[in-house]
Amino acid sequence: MSNNQYWNFSAGPSKLPQEVLQLAAQEMLDWHGSGQSVMEMSHRGPEFTQICDEAEDDLRVLLGIPEDYAVMFMQGGATAENAILPMNLIARNASNSADYVLTGIWSTKSYKEATRYGTVRIAAQSHQARQINNVEYAPWTWVPGFDSWQVNQNSSYLHFCSNETIGGVEIGSLPDMAALGAPSVPLVVDASSHFLSRPLDIRQTGMVYAGAQKNAGPAGVTVVILHRDLLGHALPYCPSAFDYVNVAKERSRFNTPPTYAIYIAGLVFKWLLKKGGLAAIEQENIAKAQALYAQLDSSEFYRNSIQPEYRSRMNVPFILHDDSLNSTFLEGAKAQRLLNLKGHKSVGGMRASIYNAMPLEGVMALIDYLKEFERTHG
């Protein structure tokens, strides 16, 4: 069965590469002649050890992750990681404190979770409306420039979310911590919804984490990449299964990991390597995003109101000039086999998530529909 005809714009769990799903289907009942499905294997047996180690190795190649960083496949999603990371890192410094940059709903959730474990400060935030170049931007639609981030040099880390999935706000580069007067404060990045969509210099970070179900695989596995210098500061009550020392030492098999999700993520990593790696997929992502934003900007009928330099390449929220047309728009889209375009309930309107697995062809199908809907309802 093929679902080639459908284009799924879900924000997550979201579209996986067709080739990956086909290969997984072929291998479902008997992985490589082992007589077992991957779901049935012991997580300590030789077959799964190979699958897990290869997934880690391929991820290291894709992102250029050096050996002094641990790669961990964990559970609980980015939401659990929002708690696990302060439990492991906030006590690094005697200050027992961390700084957070707030640019939308996800970074605010991370911040609130961290307040349970230590002193947490807001280094910068975009929670208010602001005028930039004579344009008024609503809260969470703009990003405070790096030079305005107030980082305390005694902080255990500085956290930010590099792609706000709901707001559609992407921070595509990393701040220079020395320039911010805090050279020894490690950066901790929630990269969930644009992970592996573009190159990322891991060496400039202390930790990067991502729930896989947007761009890297199915729900159930969270990827954590952590500089080994940051290991060993877990709070006494941190559960042992969430102590990074244990997970890193056992290479993600301190306890039973989400084996099938790791296997599928591993296939996605191989798919990306075959496509030419992150520099190659980035070019595809730029082309898709440019085409879609250009269409949205071409008339008053649709509107994306994010500060242009921070528009996300992955999540494109937009509104119709007349929101009484929303349900007609969504019904028509579904009839054209364009799925899951409804915006997040907190912002309304529409959202097209165009992750790595969405080909340009799918974006062009959406653009054709946008044009047609405007022609018939404008």
Which residues of this chain interact with ligand PLP, rule CB under 6 A? 12, 77-79, 106, 161, 165, 190, 192-193, 211
C-alpha–C-alpha distance, residues 26 and 5, integer Å: 21
At a CB cut-off of 8 Å and minimum separation 6, what does 260 contact? 38, 39, 218, 220
| Cα–Cα distance, 328 to 322 (Å, whole number) | 11
Residue closer to ligand PLP by CB (options 161, 247) is 161
Q: Token pair of 94, please?
A: 């005697």
Name residue, tokens 């990269």.
Answer: 191
> Measured from the CB of residue 74, what is the shortest distance to ligand PLP in angstroms?
11
| Residue closest to ligand PLP, measured at CB | 77
- Chain centroid, CA 247 distance in Å: 21
DSSP assigned state of 15: -
Fill in the DSSP letter of residue 342: B
User: How far, in Å, CA of 10 to CA of 338, rounded?
Assistant: 10
Exposure of 33 in the CB half-sphere (CA atoms within 13 A): 0
- DSSP assignment of 100-159 equals EEE-SHHHHHHHHHHTTTSEEEEEEE--S-EEETTEEE-TTSS---GGG----TT-S-EE
The residue among 187 and 370 lying less far from ligand PLP, judged by its C-beta, is 187
Closest distance of CB 317 from ligand PLP, Å: 13
d(CA 217, CA 211): 9
* In the complex, minimum distance from the CB of residue 44 to ligand PLP, in angstroms, rounded to a whole number: 26
The residue (of 78 and 207) whose beta carbon lies closer to ligand PLP is: 78
In 3D space, the residue among 249, 269, 262 whose CA is nearest the CA of residue 49 turns out to be 262
Task: Identify the active-site residue in 15, 214, 288, 342.
Answer: 214
Closest distance to ligand PLP from the beta carbon of 78 (Å): 3
End-to-end CA distance of the chain: 37
How far apart are CB 106 and ligand PLP at their closest, in Å? 4
Provide the minimum distance between the beta carbon of 194 and ligand PLP in the complex, in angstroms, as a whole number.
9
Catalytic site residue from 58, 99, 190, 243: 190
- For ligand PLP, which is the closer residue by CB, 172 or 332? 172
Residue 190 appears among annotated catalytic residues: yes
> Percent helix, strand, coil in the chain (nearest 5)?
40, 15, 45
Contact call for residues 210 and 190 (beta carbons, < 8 A): yes
Told to judge if 15 belongs to the known catalytic residues of this protein, a careful annotator would answer no
User: Is cis: bond before 186, omega within 30 of 0?
Assistant: no
* Catalytic-residue membership of 271: no
Smallest distance, Å, CB 191 to ligand PLP? 8
Chain Cα centroid distance, residue 231? 23
Alpha carbon 6 to its chain centroid, in Å, reads 23
Catalytic residue among 7, 106, 149, 271: 106
* Residue closer to ligand PLP, measured from CB, 170 or 373: 170
Residues recognised as catalytic: 106, 190, 214
